[in-house]
Structure 1
Amino acid sequence: MNAQQSAAGKSWPHKLAVASLLALVFISLAWELWLAPLRPGGSWLAVKALPLCLPLAGILKGRVYTFQYSSLLVLPYFAEAVVRLFDASAASRACAGAALLCSAAFFVACLAYVKQQRKAVGNV
């Protein structure tokens, strides 16, 4: 890792991406296991958090390629949150709102980080 990468690793897009990804994993698990599962006692839908764990190491290390593909990975989570905002349960709507905010924040942070890195290299 060179000096540009280590300096950019401490930037706001990197911090926001890490925080929102971790929050989205936590919300996905809590939503389906405790807060508002589809079935009483928890739901197997909690395994939806596993794909979010795949890019975690690359996001923490600041790898641009990981930011690029994980920005696409988060879009189904955004879509699910939008659909489940209209659920009957207030707890489910609250979880959907939190997931919507986290997934949108992660997407924007990924785009900002990639743009920042491309600009630092001179490939704008």
Structure 2
Amino acid sequence: MSSESSLVKESAAESAVPTNPSDRVRWTRTVALSAVVALIVLGLAWELWLAPTGRGTLAVKVIPLFFPLVGLWRYRLYTYRWLSLLVWVYCGEGLVRSTSETGLSQILAMIEVALCVVLFAACAAQVRWRLTQGAALESSPPPAP
């Protein structure tokens, strides 16, 4: 029974949207949102104008990046978790293209990798701080009536 109650407490802490987020939480959200938007802009500019591959059909690679925007804006912890995994697909693409292409595409690929690392760090910091805050709130005694 104790493991079940600890799971319920853990899921409650994870799903709680901060009503008054700390400066750290707001800052990591801002960094994560900025990095996702920058990846979207970079992907579209890269494939449509700067160094298109073929007829620009690779621009559809940015479509999955639109899905986490609302969750990031609303401080949804689950979004930060799955986005920290999704970002490695884009990092892998950037690493492959930075070693296989030359010129402007190589520079754009390195920028993509840097943005992915920044996004992962912001997501990881958000999750870590939020879970630490949730654990601290659960361990504190309830307020006196």
TM-score bracket, shorter-length normalisation: 0.7 to 0.9
Q: Tell me the amino acid that sits aligned with residue 32 of structure 2.
A: A
- 1:90-119 Cα offsets, whole Å, 9 max, x none, are 110111011111111101110100001001
TM-score calculated relative to the size of structure 1: 0.88
Equivalences for residues 30-49 of structure 1 within 5 A: 30-39=45-54, 42-49=55-62
- 1:1-57 Cα offsets, whole Å, 9 max, x none, are 5434x3368532111101111101110111111111112xx4100000000101111
Contact 1:9 1:62 in 2 (8 A): no
Q: Could you say if the C-alpha distance between residues 81 and 2 of structure 1 is closer, same or farther in structure 2, counting changes exceeding 3 Å?
A: closer
Q: Distance in 2 between matches of 1:94 and 1:58?
A: 30
Choose which of 74, 79, 85 in structure 2 pairs with 1:72: 85
Choose which of 98, 101, 122 in structure 2 pairs with 1:109: 122
Larger radius of gyration: 2
Q: Distance in 1 between matches of 2:114 and 2:122?
A: 12
| Structure-2 residue corresponding to 1:119 | 132
Q: How many residues align?
A: 120
Identity of aligned residues (%): 33
Contact 2:91 2:112 in 1 (8 A): yes
Structure 1: tracts of 5 or more residues without a match: none
Contact 2:25 2:129 in 1 (8 A): no
Q: Which moved more, 1:22-31 or 1:9-18?
A: 9-18
Structure 2: tracts of 5 or more residues without a match: 1-16, 137-145
Q: Distance in 2 between matches of 1:54 and 1:75?
A: 16
Contact 1:8 1:117 in 2 (8 A): no
Q: Distance in 1 between matches of 2:27 and 2:18?
A: 18
Runs ≥4 residues deviating over 2 A: 1-4, 6-12
TM-score calculated relative to the size of structure 2: 0.76
